[in-house]
Amino acid sequence: MTGIQLTPEGKKPQKELEFITDEKRAAVFSEPARRQMIAVLRNGIDDEITTEEFNKETNERIIRKRNVKRYAMSVVEIVKASAELPKSEGLTKNQVYHHLPALIEAGLVIKYGTVTTGKRTTDYYRRTARGFVIAASTGTNEKEIRKEITEKCDRMSRVFHLDIPEGRKDELIDLCMKADMLSTSWTAKIGERIMEDVADPEILEMYRWLMEIYAIGSPEYMDYAKKIRKILFPND
């Protein structure tokens, strides 16, 4: 960004991945508006970088433009981009200003830098990590969990053309909820074993694999998984 003055935090490299194992930090995600803001900053916005070169031999000035994704955004840009999120009514400026302090205090977002144009200043914000893995309870209530799992099951059914009997849909959602809540109780145990900042995206794949291995040792979880499999693949 032309003319941006970076903050001390903005000068630090962004982490590739961060595991959230502290319940207080994880609880920040329980607020829908904050989740939207985090999602917007993850998606970024389209931008353009212009570079100029002067060729002394031809006495020509060469201007090149390149399309890029920018992940540091102003409040106005966050508001505008939020309206483009799937199934979102969008955020207001008041909502963004209200929730930004909580995201900053939790170490999920930083003030990246400031651009000054005349007497006007514009602050830009960025996530502390490209990806967050919630490895602690978020405080999300059962109603919200059920809504998310229902939407996930509906989409899964469409995308993979799964013929789920209407009479067994509620049973599938209940089983998925029980398996998800049981799995959540293990995430912190594994996430807390990470002893350094995660800079390698392959760590996420390792984490998921360890979760699968841990799940095998739970008869209760495996029972849920077998029942879910029977509903999704009744003929296999």
Ranges of H-type helices in the chain: 23-27, 32-43, 75-82, 93-105, 142-159, 166-191, 202-216, 219-232
- From the number of C-beta atoms within 10 Å of its C-beta (0-12, 13-18, 19+), residue 18 rates as buried
Give 175-233 pLDDT, tens digit per residue.
998 998 888 777 767 777 766 555 555 676 777 788 889 889 999 999 999 999 999 99
Look at 212 and 73; give whichever has higher pLDDT.
Answer: 73
The mean pLDDT value for 54-77 works out to 88
Give 1-11 pLDDT, tens digit per residue.
778 999 999 99
Query: Could you give phi then psi for residue 73, rounded to 5 degrees?
Result: -135, 150
pTM: 0.69
Give the pLDDT of residue 152: 87
What is the distance, to the nearest Å, from the Cα of residue 225 to the centroid of all Cα atoms in its chain? 26
